[in-house]
Structure 1
């Protein structure tokens, strides 16, 4: 069966695609996918407008919160995802469009992973300053970010490779590299869950502090919802990547279009709009240059960010956003 499939693929030349194996969401079609993609496209466009509007408004006030800009970038990446998927549905023979849509689908969510971890880190540093500002943790985070970048580059590279070779050894290597990289993305997400649990379960330190607007409990609730959905997305991606391939004639439940759109994109939308409606740009704001215990509560949200010197403003890369 494999030889026959490869021969049929080879006759068309690279990139090679198999229609006999089920994939998450299946191949895009005009009648099933375009209406859904059009609605989601509009939802993400509105999200992009909302995040950029808030970012520009805050910037005019001297309020620096780059996570709003990051969420704008995330929404725009999803706009690209659905534009490509719609184009792929209208041109089913164009495999390169399908590959591009797949890559956009897999990489865009990284912004949410990073933002959620940064928020969890801020809460942990506020509730447990001695642990949160520990030097070892500060050194481990850049390594985690570097590995995240490496993981996504591997996913992109070996995803493309898997479409451009019929060599079974190379395809097996590509599969396992992708699985390992996606597993790391789950581990990266679990770090935010661990920080949230430590912030919630450990007794708060005597020198704990608050930041931004709203109570710490409200921040924990918002963060808890975001952590739940981001970890669910990462776990779903990991589970499906490690599951055995199913024939297209008998796909698993997780290969359905409903699972594809609801879990991979619906949960993202919940996180994005929750951040917008709860004004996370105010709730999770910290003074620029915060790099030690006590810095979070040193200035209020209404204090000018210019009250710190340029040297202090550059003091902490981790909390610059």
Structure 2
């Protein structure tokens, strides 16, 4: 989470000139700088189109799965993330046409900070499902459940604190209060960087930690593919969040911004990374790979309902071959008939 998204930089320095307001214009270089029509509008338009395509893709998957009775709410969540990023791009375009409007910059900064939190939550949900698959007893324990609840609450609390700090810092010139607001933003940014990185070491630990029972598989595709997807998306999101946390500790004056304040770094470490993650999840069909049976609440529930859940999703190859998917009961019936015919053959001989 960027600590400079709307107010910009640290609040510990002396303003170069007496600002007009409130709300007051920050005297420090902002992450991404002040947008301009010539440069930022075309770039934001491209990202707007890309996120629109991502939103359409995820909503199409969500609707198709709904008609099949295949419930996977996270596809709709990614759709709302894309929608939020579209609004953020629109606000930045509006800001480019009104660069002196501080209220628009505040709204753009708040929405920018809010969007990426959705992807952090999705990765945590994937991590929880992998934990329950590889180590069911620990994965379904109350201790781990409350740990994830605490992490989710921390996301909400950090967002509320950042919104409060960003908005309040635009309505005061008191250096002591500005310094406190900057500390709040830095603390929240560090927590979000830590949160975005958690799935990386946690997933690796799941693989090397000795298991007491077989993997409780879920969804379609191999478990290795699920692990790889989570590691890639986590690495990308962690890169962006660590970058945003770092620039909070390197405030620069508005007249002399650092390379990390420029547009290239802003769009690369934020919108581009998030766009890649959106398409990785959608094109690799997270709705099939990370789907778990409804009502799963105990160790072993994933694998017990995996076969039925996958067949309810209607396998694409079965549709192409015009084959009707068999149910577990039909498979057992076929196995019993095969065993009885084999016994009769042996008795005859």
Give structure 1 regions of 4+ aligned residues with deviation exceeding 3 angstroms: 302-305
Contact 2:247 2:260 in 1 (8 A): yes
User: Which residue of structure 2 lines up, in the alignment, with residue 13 of structure 1?
Assistant: 21
Superposed displacement of residue 194, structure 1: 3.0
Equivalences, count:
299
Task: Identify the residue that residue 309 of structure 1 maps to in structure 2.
Answer: none
| Map of 1:185 onto structure 2 | 192
Residues 129, 207 of structure 1: 8 Å contact kept: no
Structure 1 partner of 2:290: 284
How far apart in 2 are the matches of 1:144 and 1:116?
12
Partners of 1:126 and 1:22 in 2: CA distance: 46
Contact 1:44 1:76 in 2 (8 A): yes
> Residue 158 of structure 1 contacts residue 178 of structure 1 at CA under 8 Å; is this kept in 2?
yes
- Where does 1:1-321 land on structure 2 (aligned, <5 Å)? 2=14, 5=17, 7=18, 9=19, 12-18=20-26, 20-241=27-248, 243-299=249-305, 300=307, 301-304=309-312
| 3-state SS, counterpart of residue 301 of structure 2 | coil
Q: Secondary structure at the match of 1:265?
A: helix
Displacement of 1:244: 2.7
Structure 2 distance, partners of 1:218, 1:205, is: 22
Q: Which residue of 2 aligns with 1:312?
A: none
1:311 is matched with none
Unaligned runs of 5+ in 2: 1-12, 314-349
TM-score, normalised with respect to structure 1: 0.89
Q: Distance in 2 between matches of 1:204 and 1:219?
A: 18
Distance in 1, matches of 2:205 and 2:138, equals: 10
In 1, Cα distance between the equivalents of 2:60 and 2:15?
55
Distance 1:66 1:165 in 2: 42
The structure with the larger Rg is: 2
In structure 2, how many angstroms separate the alpha carbons of the residues matched to 1:152 and 1:3?
27
Structure 1 position 190, deviation (Å)? 2.8
1:22–1:248: 8 Å Cα contact kept in structure 2? yes
Provide closer, same or farther for how the CA distance between residues 34 and 53 of structure 1 changes in structure 2, counting only shifts above 3 A. Answer: same
Residue 92 of structure 1, CA deviation: 1.2
Distance apart, 1:49 and its partner CA: 0.7
User: What's the Cα RMSD here?
Assistant: 1.6
Worse overlay, 74-83 or 21-30: 21-30
Quote the Cα distance in structure 1 between the aligned partners of 2:39 and 2:15: 32
Would the alpha carbon gap of residues 152 and 206 (structure 1) be closer, same or farther in structure 2, given more than 3 Å must change? same
